[in-house]
Amino acid sequence: HLKTMEESPGGPSQKKVVAVVGGGLVGALNACFFAKRGFDVELFETREDIRQAKIVRGRSINLALSHRGRQALKHVGMEEKIVSQGIPMHARMIHSLNGKQSPIPYGKKGQYILSVDRANLNKELLTAAETYPNTKLNFDRKLQDWSAETGLMTFVRSDGSEEQVEADLIVGCDGAFSAIRKQFLRRSRFNYSQTYIPHGYMELTMPPINGEFAMKPNYLHIWPRNTFMMIALPNLDKTFTCTLFMPFEEFEKITTGDEVIEFFQKYFPDAIPLIGVDALKRDYFRLPAQAMVSVKCSPYHIGSKCVLMGDAAHAVVPFYGQGMNAGFEDCIVFDEIMEQFNEDFTQYELQTMRAHVNSKWFLFRKHIDNLLHFLMPKTIIPLYTMVTFTRTRYHEAVARWHWQDRVINRGLLFSATGALLGGSFLLIKNPPDINKLLVPAEKMWSRLVALRTS
């Protein structure tokens, strides 16, 4: 149990030390949360300070910030600043093969998600953490080993020198390939799995046209093509970051610039003039397609010494836009639990979700769900609305979605059955006059014959 020691008659208290391992999005935000509570916070990051780096290495997929993430940012006074640096996306914009564009709103009027730049968000959170006098940021520190019993950690710098630090609580925010989690794997009754999906991703840039966005900016643009797809998110510099998701075997089939253009002409013809032929030929081969992994593990903590958060605990593929938002919610859930139990902590769990938009049934059901939500806003809530615009727990959202799905599907089945039976009853009760039907048909046939002979 982690507890803040109060001033006592025997002398001044000693502040507890929290070591946050990982200076990415979740680690930097966590540093703010713990520092705000008065703990001495030490943040350790393997890379150099990205605020001073000439080249920022790592993933650069644009992020979709939604309600869960915004609530966590709000808690440390960062919401307004980050929102002001994002671009609202009110709907998906579906691009068909023939170039037609069809919007699918995310939720009610006024609801939107925000396109935010990963690197800029990370820099802002590090700067915010650094404003707390009880926080120290340590870069170029690679975790070599740590003890769950003593909280002693050993870090190595790029020059080979070592540094040892002891902490009361270690918070592992070091990503899907967490070094902190390796100690968990050595223990019994720890469940862990990682799964690579057969798809990879590749990023391309769509530049501005005459200083303006090449497409409508307030949308998440999607080119769904069954086994693969491309998406595009707007940036403040008027560019779009396009991400192509495709099975690795498809990526590997394309080996020349001409084959890239041929591929885009077949599947994304409207994107070619917007990205540019030369840019496509060049950027497609700039970096190989990157892999995507999902991670599940349980429990998320070792006693009172260490807890995993973010991708270290539950890495997810990006198709539902919940990776960052779920990681940010970890921070606020942990803080809420500490508040509720006098700064005591326990485990909490999240689940992964994914949706597909390239389906007529999906579109039909979305219209039905939205209509029912409008008529019964407290009874029927679409899954995406629960996940993106509320802080309903993930497992509760999934359970409620399954219940709603059964109820709505049965209602549709009963409605269709009722319509069929009603139509059949009317036909039996009032059978049509065949002779009356034949007369117009004979007249039509006569006219066709006359036209043909003439």
Q: Check: CB of residue 338 under 8 Å from CB of residue 36.
A: no
- Average pLDDT estimate for 376-403: 75
Best CA proximity match to 27, nearest among 308, 247, 217: 308
| Cα distance between residue 78 and residue 69, in whole Å | 11
- Name the residue with higher pLDDT: 296 or 365: 296
Best CA proximity match to 383, nearest among 401, 396, 365: 401
Q: Residue 348 pLDDT more than 60? A: no
Radius of gyration for the alpha carbons in the chain, expressed in angstroms and rounded = 28
- Average pLDDT estimate for 267-285: 96
Beta-bridge mates of residue 135: 41
- Average pLDDT estimate for 74-98: 95
Give CA separation, 431 vs 422, 435, 436, 440, in Å: 14, 12, 12, 17
What pLDDT, on a 0 to 100 scale, did the predictor assign at position 444? 56
- Name the residue with higher pLDDT: 19 or 352: 19
What pLDDT, on a 0 to 100 scale, did the predictor assign at position 162? 96
22-81 pLDDT, tens per residue? 999 999 999 999 999 999 999 999 999 999 987 765 556 679 999 999 999 999 999 999
What pLDDT, on a 0 to 100 scale, did the predictor assign at position 423? 72
Specify the range with the lowest mean pLDDT, choosing from 135-139, 255-259, 442-446.
Answer: 442-446
What pLDDT, on a 0 to 100 scale, did the predictor assign at position 421? 77
Instruction: Specify the amino acid at residue 359.
Output: S
Residue the block writes with tokens 């009963």: 414
| Cα distance between residue 369 and residue 396, in whole Å | 18
- Name the residue with higher pLDDT: 249 or 421: 249
- The long-range contacts involving 268-274, CB below 8 angstroms and separated by at least 24 positions, are 268/95, 268/223, 268/225, 268/230, 269/97, 269/99, 270/95, 270/99, 271/95, 271/206, 271/223, 271/230, 271/242, 274/206, 274/209, 274/214, 274/215
Q: Check: CB of residue 354 under 8 Å from CB of residue 319.
A: yes
Best CA proximity match to 62, nearest among 216, 235, 206: 235
DSSP symbols for 341-398: TTS--------------S-HHHHHHHHHHHHHHHHSTTT---HHHHHHHS---HHHHH
382-395 pLDDT, tens per residue? 776 776 777 777 77
Q: Residue 158 pLDDT more than 60? A: yes
What pLDDT, on a 0 to 100 scale, did the predictor assign at position 405? 80
The gap between the terminal CA atoms of the chain, to the nearest Å, is 96
Going by pLDDT thresholds of 50, 70 and 90, the confidence category of residue 442 is low
Q: Residue 1 pLDDT more than 70? A: no
Best CA proximity match to 236, nearest among 83, 32, 75: 83
Angle between helices 67-75 and 323-340 (to 10 degrees): 50
Tokens (6 digits) for 25: 């999005």
Strands 87-89 and 113-116 turn out to be antiparallel
Name the average pLDDT for the chain: 85
Going by pLDDT thresholds of 50, 70 and 90, the confidence category of residue 438 is low
Tokens (6 digits) for 38: 């008065």
Give CA separation, 43 vs 13, 21, 79, 237, 259, in Å: 22, 6, 22, 31, 46
Q: Check: CB of residue 345 under 8 Å from CB of residue 335.
A: no
Q: Residue 350 pLDDT more than 50? A: no
Going by pLDDT thresholds of 50, 70 and 90, the confidence category of residue 270 is very high
Q: In terms of pTM, does the model score above 0.85?
A: no
CB-based burial, 138-162: b 16+ in 10 Å, e otherwise: bbebebeebebeebebebbeeeeee
- Average pLDDT estimate for 295-322: 91
Give CA separation, 318 vs 82, 273, 291, 374, in Å: 20, 27, 12, 29
Strands 87-89 and 228-234 turn out to be unpaired
From the number of C-beta atoms within 10 Å of its C-beta (0-12, 13-18, 19+), residue 178 rates as buried
Q: Check: CB of residue 77 under 8 Å from CB of residue 182.
A: no
* Fold assignment, 17-340: FAD/NAD(P)-binding domain (3.50.50)
Q: Residue 147 pLDDT more than 90? A: yes
CA atoms 69, 71, 72, 73: torsion sign: positive
What pLDDT, on a 0 to 100 scale, did the predictor assign at position 351? 29
The secondary structure of the chain in percent helix, strand, coil, rounded to multiples of 5, reads: 40, 25, 35
Going by pLDDT thresholds of 50, 70 and 90, the confidence category of residue 88 is very high
φ and ψ at residue 98, rounded to 5 degrees: -85, 5
Q: Residue 6 pLDDT more than 50? A: no
Q: Residue 412 pLDDT more than 90? A: no
- Average pLDDT estimate for 372-377: 72
What pLDDT, on a 0 to 100 scale, did the predictor assign at position 375? 73
What pLDDT, on a 0 to 100 scale, did the predictor assign at position 365? 67
What pLDDT, on a 0 to 100 scale, did the predictor assign at position 448? 55
| Cα distance between residue 347 and residue 341, in whole Å | 13
- Average pLDDT estimate for 201-212: 95
| Cα distance between residue 441 and residue 41, in whole Å | 86
Q: Residue 10 pLDDT more than 70? A: no
